Amino acid sequence: MKSSMHKVARKDGKSAQNVLAPLWFLLPALLLVGIFIYYPVFATANLSFKNYKLFDQSNIFYNGFENFRGIFKDLAFRRIIQNSILWVTVSLFFQFTIGFGLALYLRTKFRFSGIYQGIIFIPWALSGFLMGLVWKWIFDDNLGVLNDMMLKAGIIDVPIPWLSNANWAMAAVIIANIWYGVTFFVIMILAALQGVPKEMLEAADLDGCGKTKTLFLVIIPYIRQTLILIVLLRVIWITNFPDIIFGMTSGGPNQQTHILSSWLVQKITYDQDWGSGSALGLLILSVLLIFSVFYLLATRLEKESEES
């Protein structure tokens, strides 16, 4: 009887150890995530309800939802929302379509294909802010390479005010962002395409499917989950990517090219209004969380309807 009880106790002890062992291994990672991700989020949420200006430390107090009301009442808020939607949708559309096309092209083996892949991957290794400065030189109204080439080719008669006109400036930063982000889709989609089994492609070819049918009936359904994930990730990254805008226009002219994330940087670094900046950051986080949930639910429902 005693021996059986000892066996049960040993089994319970071993099972407890088996459960706790993975937690001990995960503890360092959990601590890092808690310190560098969750703590800043909670600290930001706390600051968003405070009147907290860096150069007015003697006047810090909780002001409720005043920071949020100030953001919504700001005259620039509506334009910045429009800019943010335009920035994300146009950039994402062209980055995805161009990246998908290049990935399909690079999937086939041809002479110097490795060199072409290396050239396409270069932008992803460079600083976004640095690329913003390069594109600022390209789009410069008077000394820019683009205007100079278009004038010499007879396409335009007078220089286009790329960076001094609000509408042209927004177009310029979006073009630069499209160029910068195409590489991400090329890398991710090319990796997904290389995982498509050759047997499926050979079977489609034997069934008489052309390239277009093979693409839409075989390749895209096979890599569908990867496409859903990378589109979601890219939406989040584009929304939180003010580097090129600050490198090219710093939100100008007259704050007309700001998006939510660049406006947030301005409030924190230039205005030194940490309370208002934290409130804006919390709004951006909430919008992205809501979008992610609805996006994943919509794609899941679409998949279930196709399967049924």
List the chain pLDDT tens, one digit each, 308 residues. 545 545 544 555 556 566 677 778 888 888 998 888 889 889 989 999 999 888 877 888 899 899 999 999 998 999 999 999 999 999 999 999 999 999 988 887 777 777 777 787 787 778 888 899 999 999 998 888 999 999 999 888 888 999 989 889 999 999 999 999 999 999 899 989 988 888 888 888 887 778 888 888 888 889 988 898 899 889 999 999 999 999 999 888 888 899 999 999 999 888 888 999 999 999 999 999 999 888 888 777 666 666 66
Computed on alpha carbons and rounded to an integer, the radius of gyration of the chain in Å comes to 26
Q: Could you give the 3-state DSSP secondary structure of residue 48? A: coil
Tell me the sheet residues that pair with 61.
Answer: 51
pLDDT at 205: 82
32 vs 24, 42, 207, CA distance in Å?
14, 15, 53
Q: How far apart are CA 78 and CA 91, in angstroms?
A: 20
- Burial class from Cβ neighbours inside 10 Å (0-12, 13-18, 19+) for residue 171 reads middle
113 vs 102, 103, 107, 119, 191, CA distance in Å?
11, 11, 9, 10, 15
In the chain, the DSSP E strands lie at 50-51, 61-62
CATH class belonging to 77-257: mainly alpha
pLDDT at 8: 47
CA geometry: angle 204, 205, 209, nearest 5 deg: 70
Q: How many CA atoms lie within 13 A of 240 on its CB side?
A: 16
pLDDT at 6: 52
Q: How far apart are CA 176 and CA 245, in angstroms?
A: 9
Q: Give the global pTM.
A: 0.85
Q: How many CA atoms lie within 13 A of 53 on its CB side?
A: 7
Cβ(51)–Cβ(66) under 8 Å? yes
pLDDT at 14: 57
**In the chain, where the domains are located:** 2-47, 77-257
